């Protein structure tokens, strides 16, 4: 398959594969390893740290420190994840992240949320590439992002790890739907863990793949070894729903949440409990599997080994590697 396409050209990368932003689990080492291997690394929230920041000022300082580390490890392009609050609102943490990234010369942003006109104008005014991901994708939202200058869209299927789309539309359905709705390039995400998933994504019209779960089980990911082994050993059929937004492998805290969910507890209360518990920091970063949720995509049967990011990229991108 042709190596160059609109995504690789726009992002200045060798292969059409991007490592997804993941709270706590995407530090400088992982981001740089992916970028050095020819894909693009994306730094998500809490990168490189083990505790929550005291406020936006500390967020800005942390982002700058982690960007310095990335730059010491690679000269290749990388991106920063930005949460977009609803249009008309502002978020001090996002603002601090954006300002720190701009001060460090970052020119690639992967946004999550809905189109916030003030923030996307700032991204575009900064002469940056804007890659946008709606948590729950739709053709209408995709067109809106395109109209406001998005360079690339990420179409997220219900199969994904992390906060799952509320429309329950799988990757096979949402990718071609979004591809047909816009003329800018689309990346596919949700349940892509091996080369068959990559081939399927391209057959559906995607021009790149965006992978989270597969990179958790990489050597460079800061997730605890216990988390990586949990992913390697678990099956999709083991996963339990802990709220309409999250699934998990079945450990103690996740089972408690599952019971709350089954008993009709509101999503808001369950998600609040997860967040008050530190999100995935205790469970996935520190490996205390019983003390939090272990969120993964539904295709974990296909992840049977922890490998280096380079090996993962070479395996998944085999069709694009010129002999
Ligand atoms: C543990 C975990 C944490 C995540 N945190 C974030 C986040 O902070 N910001 C974000 O935009 N997406 C986040 N995501 C979603 C990923 O960016 C991506 O959409 C998803 O992992 C892709 O699906 P896959 O896991 O099937 O590859 C997270 C996903 C996981 C598994």
What is the C-alpha separation between 29 and 114, in angstroms, rounded?
A: 29
Predicted pLDDT of residue 279: 86
Ligand 1 centroid vs 285 CA: distance in angstroms?
14
Q: Which residues, given as ranges, of the chain have pLDDT below 50? A: none
Interacting residues of 80 by C-beta distance below 8 A, sequence separation 6+:
42, 43, 63, 67, 97, 98, 101, 106, 108, 109, 110
Task: Indicate which residue's Cα is closest to atom 15 of ligand 1.
Answer: 162
Predicted pLDDT of residue 17: 98
Ligand 1 centroid vs 190 CA: distance in angstroms?
9
* Ligand 1 atom at minimum distance from 20 CA: 17
Predicted pLDDT of residue 323: 61
Predicted pLDDT of residue 275: 87
Ligand 1 centroid vs 56 CA: distance in angstroms?
22
6-221+305-320 — its CATH code?
3.20.20.70
Ligand 1 centroid vs 221 CA: distance in angstroms?
13
Predicted pLDDT of residue 112: 98
200-252 pLDDT, tens digit per residue, is: 999 999 999 999 999 999 999 999 999 999 999 999 999 999 999 999 999 99
Structural tokens at position 124: 């575009």
Structural tokens at position 308: 């280096």
How is the chain split into domains, by residue range? 6-221+305-320, 240-291
Handedness of CA 299, 50, 163, 176 (dihedral sign): negative
Residue 217 in contact with residue 226, Cβ under 8 Å?
Answer: no
What is the C-alpha separation between 306 and 97, in angstroms, rounded?
A: 31
Candidates 80, 108, 107; CA nearest to 94 is 80
Per-position b or e across 141-165, b if 16+ CB within 10 A of its CB: bbbbbbebebbbbbbbbbbbbbbbb
* Residue of 18, 19, 20 best suited for mutating to test ligand 1, as the one with most atoms within 8 Å of CB: 20
Candidates 147, 85, 167, 98; CA nearest to 126 is 98
Residue 113 Cβ contacting ligand 1 at under 6 Å: no
Ligand 1 centroid vs 116 CA: distance in angstroms?
20
């Amino acid at each position: 398959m042709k190596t160059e396409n609109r995504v690789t050209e726009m992002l200045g990368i060798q292969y059409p594969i991007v490592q997804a932003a993941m709270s706590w689990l995407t530090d400088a080492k992982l981001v740089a390893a992916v970028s050095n291997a020819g894909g693009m690394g994306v730094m998500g929230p809490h990168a490189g740290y083990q505790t929550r920041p005291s406020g936006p000022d500390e967020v800005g300082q942390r982002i700058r420190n982690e960007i310095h580390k990335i730059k010491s490890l690679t000269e290749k392009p990388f991106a920063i994840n930005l949460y977009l609050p609803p249009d008309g609102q502002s978020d001090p943490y996002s603002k601090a992240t954006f300002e720190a990234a701009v001060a460090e010369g970052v020119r690639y942003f992967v946004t999550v949320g809905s189109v916030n006109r003030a923030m996307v104008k700032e991204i575009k005014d900064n002469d940056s590439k804007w890659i946008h991901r709606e948590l729950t994708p739709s053709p209408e939202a995709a067109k809106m992002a395109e109209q406001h200058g998005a360079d690339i869209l990420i179409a997220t299927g219900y199969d994904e790890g992390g906060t799952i789309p509320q429309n329950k539309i799988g990757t096979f359905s949402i990718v071609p739907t979004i591809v047909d709705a816009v003329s800018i390039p689309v990346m596919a995400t949700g349940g892509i863990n091996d080369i068959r998933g990559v081939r399927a994504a391209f057959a559906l019209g995607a021009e790149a793949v965006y992978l989270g779960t597969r990179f958790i089980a990489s050597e460079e990911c800061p997730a605890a070894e216990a988390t990586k082994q949990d992913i390697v050993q678990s099956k999709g059929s083991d996963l339990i729903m802990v709220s309409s937004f999250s699934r998990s492998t079945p450990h103690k805290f996740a089972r408690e949440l599952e019971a709350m969910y089954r008993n009709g507890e509101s999503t808001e209360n369950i998600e609040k409990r997860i967040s008050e518990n530190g999100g995935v920091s205790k469970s996935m970063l520190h490996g205390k599997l019983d003390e939090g949720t272990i969120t993964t995509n539904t295709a974990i049967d296909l992840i049977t080994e922890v490998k280096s990011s380079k090996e993962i990229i070479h395996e998944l991108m085999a069709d694009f590697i010129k002999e």
